[in-house]
Amino acid sequence: MKVKVLYLASLREQLGATGEDLDLSPAVSTVAGLRTLLMARGGAWQSALAQGKALRVAVNQEIAQPATPVKQGDEIAFFPPVTGG
């Protein structure tokens, strides 16, 4: 299952990555599952995405929750709480 993942603002800097195309196994079916998968990379991934970190996730440019499903072709963005205005 191919998805596009984006890392924005301070998270992009912490991870040293703007985003990537991933081919997920069927076992990864939610936002929470994807976050766990990325954390398993260790290092900055483990610390920046750790539970308790204030993180927001959008699926296809709509704010998502941990239980939001992740499907083929989705664009999933991880970012810190917003600070515009």
Partner 1 sequence: MPVRVQTGDFDAGAEIAALRRGNPKVGAVASFIGVCRDANDGDAVSTMTLEHYPGMTEKALEKIVAEARTRWDVVDVLVVHRVGELKPTDQIVLVVVAGAHRSEAFAACEFVMDYLKTRAPFWKKEQTPKGTRWVEARTSDDEAAQRWEPPKSSAA
Binding site residues, partner 1, CB under 8 A: 6, 8-10, 54, 58, 61-63, 77, 79-85
- Dist CA 21 CA 77 (whole Å): 12
| Cβ-based nearer residue to partner 1, 38 or 77 | 77
Nearest approach, Cβ of 22 to partner 1 (angstroms)? 19
How many other CB atoms are there within 10 angstroms of residue 38's CB atom? 19
| Cβ-based nearer residue to partner 1, 38 or 76 | 76
Nearest approach, Cβ of 70 to partner 1 (angstroms)? 16
How many other CB atoms are there within 10 angstroms of residue 47's CB atom? 12
- The closest of 21, 17, 20 to 2, measured between CA atoms, is 21
